Structure 1
């Protein structure tokens, strides 16, 4: 549960021109965001590139060089630094658990999403960018999703990520944050980054299968991010692969077929599970043949589709638990959960299963006409969200409020 120094949600009237950088689990994205004080009039120009696999397991210098080089190319391509006397304000979307003493500071606690880069943990992940531009805010992707969505939708109560990782953010009163030492009034709202992908790292609560144990053991960080490894998109395809291999080894699935290619970890991605639940049976059969490189019968295809359904259903129901916990704690009974991520927005049955589980936990009326809490597609948290937080921060500074802001 990390404080963010994002004090409240936006008014929808924030203005300004901002550069944002998003270091996600798969891609690096650089944006130019122009806020015009009207939620319907946001101008975004962006460039995205896939992170090279070597970056994810390299060292800090390689990571920051790649990031700053990409940023410099974007600035030159859009002529953003030519003939400027001021420095462009920058918002950095850093989708990893970081403790923040200030809003433009973030000390990485541990890498997640399969990253394992030397020389970053324990250090200020924002320092390099602060030297390049006027870094205004470091924002987690969940915080960004919540703020960007609230900019347009005042019914937003929670920001959530159901994609490569799993996490959520909500608004808490400063007076309820016992570990925070501040002179802010106790009723001051502050966004909290839950980081509940790390729930039950002590392995005392969640019932893990043997496949969960294998994934944890063979991950870059065994014993960490337990909840995430059971529910997030990065791992669902890997769970499917392990089950397929196990059933094949026992002669129960694809007997006599050569599945050597399937021994490669993370060979199958979560997109395959979506296809197996969304496509007609003959199309699923063809998809399996393509992915596995073997002959597949219709009965085997039905089994694979069933497995995909079981795995994705467990993931969706687990994801609902984190949201339900926040709603119970804050006594939230209605509103919108702004969800970002490929699992939330691309899996054909995620939202339906998520809502069903949430209703069971919160004991909604079974005869209800509509759900009191619904999942919505988050606005651009990494781009617009980071820009809006930067605008809110600059406004606070201009008003003389320096709580959570480093001296400039």
Structure 2
């Protein structure tokens, strides 16, 4: 008993140095300094790899009805994934009413018509990168690739030092980077030097990858940011656009923020610019989020804040930043490995859905599963690499490598061995097959939950539109618009993010789950579909499209005033 107390005390000391309790216990368990005779007394349950895989498949995929892979052959009776989707839909409905942290309506009530054109300055502030671009919109009918619309772009890494910049210091850093990029664009001939230096401030569209309580096309109250950012310190509740413009003016950067969109909304805008059927924007990379174009009647009045009556007179729908990762509490099926991840998380209940689906966490779940498999099945010779004891040392890119078999660095076996300093001969061919199946189960579960989320939002949208149409007077200007929405045969989900674009087979698996959910709910895929379409450079393009819309509205407003003057 004394030895066990000493083990726990030492583990807690390790915990105070930044390691999780699980890490500390495992590290002491396999430490060379541990008494071998005492370790022999620790009972380790032994089982075959086949037994482990069978249980892993049951735990990860069984609760969502995915223990036998979908074939799109028809509806699944009592489909568990459809049941999960309905539970998510109930949470979405509740969040749309009063929750101030999620389901945030933007100021954009119209999707682009695809005719918007011109050259615009766009800035994307993400979790790891600041990008500044000059975007040349050419209209929906152009045959050029999306990439050709960006005539100039600079990227700046947002490292830990930048994330720790407090309040105005972060925005000053951002303003200096914008200034640097503008000088490069001027030197390259993409922007007129005289126009920039002498003319009015250059309008800028901003894609903001954090929650924002939007109050106008170019403003919104700053909310807590997460991801270790301190830029919101002392600024929570203050207007983002006004804060940026004040600092740009102080530093004499001749630029003005005219439009602000969340990055998921930017994905939707960029998709809708090229595809008239786009109604959702999905981001699945380090994190996860969905933007949805939803009927106004779905959303509680308090969620809109203070808006003029003219806004409501024009808006039948509005783009909503769902903050999807915050949902799923108490309804997502958690394995013992998920519970270990949750127990070691500093905010275990903040983003429960994100823990099961996003790139930041998929590798960590895989690492936790591997630790158990090594000790119980003899995987990798039954020896745990010390590097695997470090939390989040297994990234989703390594999972992708294992499934793919090789990448630019070489064969997966060699790369994995080098990454984790494994002895010669490991991982073996059998080890790789085992790990491929485990990684596949974890990725498949992620795709199924994302599909359930998309489908839940699609159903919410359709049900609310039917209710809205039933309540409208026939002569209402919204009647025809809502009827057209209800008759859409194809709904496009614009997507971006490393998991969807780089992880082998993920996008195809997600599409299969969407098809299966449509069929299980009674729809004929020949009559109604939800299709995934990639949205390239979505944040910059979306910010530019939003800016183009604002500039166009302002121009129309000025023309109306001139007409009235005459």
TM-score, structure 1 normalization? 0.88
Residue number among 335, 359, 363 corresponding to 1:233 in the alignment: 359
Deviation of 1:221 after TM superposition, in Å, equals: 3.4
Residue 299 of structure 1 is matched in structure 2 by 430
2:154 maps to 1:154? no
Output aligned runs, 1:169-188, within 5 Å: 169-179=291-301, 180=304, 182-183=308-309, 184-185=312-313, 188=316
- Given the superposition, is the C-alpha separation of residues 224 and 115 from structure 1 closer, same or farther in structure 2, using an over 3 Å criterion? farther
Choose 375-384 or 238-247, whichever is displaced more: 238-247
Q: Any idea what the Cα deviations from partners look like across 1:199-225, whole Å, max 9, x if unmatched? A: 13xx32112233333434444533211
Residue 325 of structure 1 is matched in structure 2 by 456
Residue number among 366, 378, 397 corresponding to 2:535 in the alignment: 378
Could you say what the CA RMSD is over the residues aligned between the two structures, in angstroms?
2.7
Indicate if the aligned counterparts of 1:19 and 1:91 stay in contact, CA closer than 8 A.
Answer: yes
Residue 89 of structure 1 is matched in structure 2 by 203
Deviation of 1:118 after TM superposition, in Å, equals: 5.7
- Given the superposition, is the C-alpha separation of residues 253 and 63 from structure 1 closer, same or farther in structure 2, using an over 3 Å criterion? farther
Residue 406 of structure 1 is matched in structure 2 by none
Indicate if the aligned counterparts of 1:158 and 1:168 stay in contact, CA closer than 8 A.
Answer: yes
Choose 187-196 or 375-384, whichever is displaced more: 187-196
Indicate if the aligned counterparts of 1:148 and 1:388 stay in contact, CA closer than 8 A.
Answer: yes
- Given the superposition, is the C-alpha separation of residues 371 and 342 from structure 1 closer, same or farther in structure 2, using an over 3 Å criterion? farther
Residue 152 of structure 2 is matched in structure 1 by 45
- Given the superposition, is the C-alpha separation of residues 127 and 187 from structure 1 closer, same or farther in structure 2, using an over 3 Å criterion? closer
For 1:211 and 1:152, how far apart are their aligned partners in 2?
Answer: 41
Residue 253 of structure 1 is matched in structure 2 by 379
Residue 405 of structure 1 is matched in structure 2 by none
In structure 1, the residue corresponding to 2:332 is in which secondary structure? coil
Indicate if the aligned counterparts of 2:264 and 2:283 stay in contact, CA closer than 8 A.
Answer: yes
- Given the superposition, is the C-alpha separation of residues 76 and 219 from structure 1 closer, same or farther in structure 2, using an over 3 Å criterion? farther
Deviation of 1:6 after TM superposition, in Å, equals: 1.1
Choose 7-16 or 38-47, whichever is displaced more: 38-47
Deviation of 1:113 after TM superposition, in Å, equals: 4.8
Indicate if the aligned counterparts of 1:5 and 1:103 stay in contact, CA closer than 8 A.
Answer: yes
**Structure number, greater radius of gyration:** 2
Higher helix share: 2
Indicate if the aligned counterparts of 1:17 and 1:89 stay in contact, CA closer than 8 A.
Answer: no
Indicate if the aligned counterparts of 2:518 and 2:529 stay in contact, CA closer than 8 A.
Answer: no
Give ranges in structure 2 of 5+ residues lacking alignment.
Answer: 1-102, 249-254, 463-485, 559-566
Give ranges in structure 1 of 5+ residues lacking alignment.
Answer: 402-408
For 1:238 and 1:265, how far apart are their aligned partners in 2?
Answer: 7
Choose 236-245 or 172-181, whichever is displaced more: 172-181
Residue number among 315, 326, 331 corresponding to 1:205 in the alignment: 331
Indicate if the aligned counterparts of 1:337 and 1:375 stay in contact, CA closer than 8 A.
Answer: yes
2:251 maps to 1:125? no
Residue number among 487, 501, 505 corresponding to 1:345 in the alignment: 501
Output aligned runs, 1:259-408, within 5 Å: 259-279=385-405, 283-294=411-422, 295-331=426-462, 334-363=490-519, 372-400=529-557
2:190 maps to 1:76? no
Deviation of 1:134 after TM superposition, in Å, equals: 1.4
TM-score, structure 2 normalization? 0.65
Choose 209-218 or 325-334, whichever is displaced more: 209-218
Indicate if the aligned counterparts of 1:173 and 1:186 stay in contact, CA closer than 8 A.
Answer: no
Deviation of 1:53 after TM superposition, in Å, equals: 2.3
Indicate if the aligned counterparts of 1:30 and 1:71 stay in contact, CA closer than 8 A.
Answer: yes
Indicate if the aligned counterparts of 1:155 and 1:336 stay in contact, CA closer than 8 A.
Answer: yes
Choose 26-35 or 120-129, whichever is displaced more: 120-129
Q: Any idea what the Cα deviations from partners look like across 1:357-379, whole Å, max 9, x if unmatched? A: 22232225799679822111013
- Given the superposition, is the C-alpha separation of residues 271 and 376 from structure 1 closer, same or farther in structure 2, using an over 3 Å criterion? same
Output aligned runs, 1:126-145, within 5 Å: 126-131=241-246, 132=248, 133-145=255-267
- Given the superposition, is the C-alpha separation of residues 398 and 366 from structure 1 closer, same or farther in structure 2, using an over 3 Å criterion? closer
Choose 20-29 or 383-392, whichever is displaced more: 20-29
Indicate if the aligned counterparts of 2:152 and 2:185 stay in contact, CA closer than 8 A.
Answer: no
Q: Any idea what the Cα deviations from partners look like across 1:134-172, whole Å, max 9, x if unmatched? A: 111111111111111111111212111111111111212
- Given the superposition, is the C-alpha separation of residues 393 and 239 from structure 1 closer, same or farther in structure 2, using an over 3 Å criterion? same
Deviation of 1:4 after TM superposition, in Å, equals: 0.9
Q: Any idea what the Cα deviations from partners look like across 1:92-113, whole Å, max 9, x if unmatched? A: 1111121111121233433345
- Given the superposition, is the C-alpha separation of residues 319 and 178 from structure 1 closer, same or farther in structure 2, using an over 3 Å criterion? same
2:318 maps to 1:190? yes
Indicate if the aligned counterparts of 1:113 and 1:165 stay in contact, CA closer than 8 A.
Answer: no
